Structure 1
Amino acid sequence: MLTSMEKPQTQSSPIVIESPIADPGPLGLAAFAVTTFILSLNNAKITAPELAQLFVPLALFYGGLTQLLAGMWEFKKNNTFGATAFSTYGAFWLALGALKVMENLKIVTYGSSGKTGVGVFLIAFAIFTLYMWVATFRINWALFTVFTLLEIAFVLLILADLGFITSEAGGYVGLATAAGAWYVSAAGVLNPLYKRILLPLGPRN
């Protein structure tokens, strides 16, 4: 009797070879880092106010579309955390960029409630970031650090948009968040390429 592992092959039974795909994680992290970096420069008041619009095309195409695509490929790799994180933050940047475009075109107007509206928008993503931060407890120290900084940045920017503090503190924490995301992205590119740990991530599990 044939077991399930000993099925005879016939011409009508095609051999399916699953082709591996590259890790989309470093791309998604780089897209997140660059867009966060540019916006945080403005929040920290390091760049001139008129350069604030630089983040809009990045939010739409790199932080937004590219990160969303990375999230879709994480589904292919059966990585629920990566798929959920990249898809959500990609959509976050797309929504934020679209919001700016619609404001500039006068399609939507918020009047004196504009800053409060952005604060409410950020609250929703701070809640999402909180439970994704908990998930990083089981991944590695580097990603845990990135999500810790991101949650702090969200809280500080929410307070700024609600009028309790200025945006500088959130901007500087955002810059640290971008640096952490770049580090994890670089590790994902360099460690496999050199076949050794050039940039340690510090596994936690």
Structure 2
Amino acid sequence: MQNTPQTRVLVTDTTANPAPLGLLGFGMTTVLLNLHNAGFYGLNSMILGMGIFVGGIAQVLAGWQEWKKNNTFGATAFTAYGFFWLSLVAIWLIPKMSWGAAYASDEKGLSAYLFLWGLFTLFMFVGSLRLSRLLQVVFATLTLLFFLLAIGDYTGNAALKTFAGYEGVVCGLAAFYGSMAQVLNELYGRTVLPLGSK
């Protein structure tokens, strides 16, 4: 039996970086929702639309692209937070449907939901300590945001939820900055906007 010669093929990944899309989807939607939490406007279709398409679907797509790039952290973060946005919109909308009124979540239930997302985000923050300073800021402020909102819902403290809204705007703007920094730095081939890389 003859041995067949084997050829090694080196495959180079030339696909684009999905992180800017994921950070943009997260950042923009987070800013808009937390302007609502801070009391600037009510919960409306603009937030719902952003939650479904930009915060939700765009982040899930970015997460799946990170999976293809063998980035477990990015894949987990973007996919999980994309589905967070979709689940949050579902929590708001299901009780508005004729068959869903009986399933409306009370503030204690929402508090548990937000607490679990805060716990997940705390672990992701620990992971971000191996990454850029910018991502550390995003995950630290997001951890704080989830816990503030959870406590606000549990206690019914409206002032705390308003404060959380302002803190959430900071979190969203940090993610938005990270998205734009990665795009501009790649385009110009140099650091235009620093990310505090380790």
The equivalent residue for 2:142 is: 150
The equivalent residue for 2:72 is: 80
Letter in 2 for 1:193: L
Unpaired segments of 5 or more residues in structure 1? 1-6
Which of these residues, 168, 181, 186, is aligned with residue 180 of structure 2? Answer: 186
Letter in 1 for 2:32: I
Query: For the pair shown, which has the larger CA radius of gyration, 1 or 2?
Result: 1
The equivalent residue for 1:140 is: 132
User: How high is the sequence identity, in percent, across the aligned residues?
Assistant: 39
Which of these residues, 163, 171, 175, is aligned with residue 165 of structure 2? Answer: 171
How high is the TM-score relative to the length of structure 2? Answer: 0.89
How high is the TM-score relative to the length of structure 1? Answer: 0.87
Q: In structure 1, how many angstroms separate the alpha carbons of the residues matched to 2:117 and 2:50?
A: 19
How many residue pairs were aligned?
Answer: 193
The equivalent residue for 2:34 is: 40
Q: CA 1:148/1:162 → structure 2, altered by over 3 Å: closer, same or farther?
A: same
Letter in 2 for 1:154: F
The equivalent residue for 2:84 is: 92
Letter in 2 for 1:90: G
3-state DSSP of counterpart to 1:161: helix
Q: Which aligned segments of 4 or more residues in structure 1 are displaced greater than 3 angstroms?
A: 13-19, 109-113
Deviates more, 1:53-62 or 1:13-22: 13-22
Which of these residues, 16, 20, 24, is aligned with residue 26 of structure 1? Answer: 20
Q: CA 1:151/1:123 → structure 2, altered by over 3 Å: closer, same or farther?
A: same
The equivalent residue for 1:195 is: 189
Task: Report the RMSD for the aligned CA atoms in angstroms.
Answer: 2.1
3-state DSSP of counterpart to 1:162: helix
3-state DSSP of counterpart to 1:138: coil
Q: 2:126 matched to 1:119?
A: no
Unpaired segments of 5 or more residues in structure 2? none
| Alpha-carbon offset, residue 160 of structure 1 | 1.3
| Alpha-carbon offset, residue 108 of structure 1 | 2.8
Q: CA 1:72/1:149 → structure 2, altered by over 3 Å: closer, same or farther?
A: same
Q: In structure 1, how many angstroms separate the alpha carbons of the residues matched to 2:84 and 2:59?
A: 10
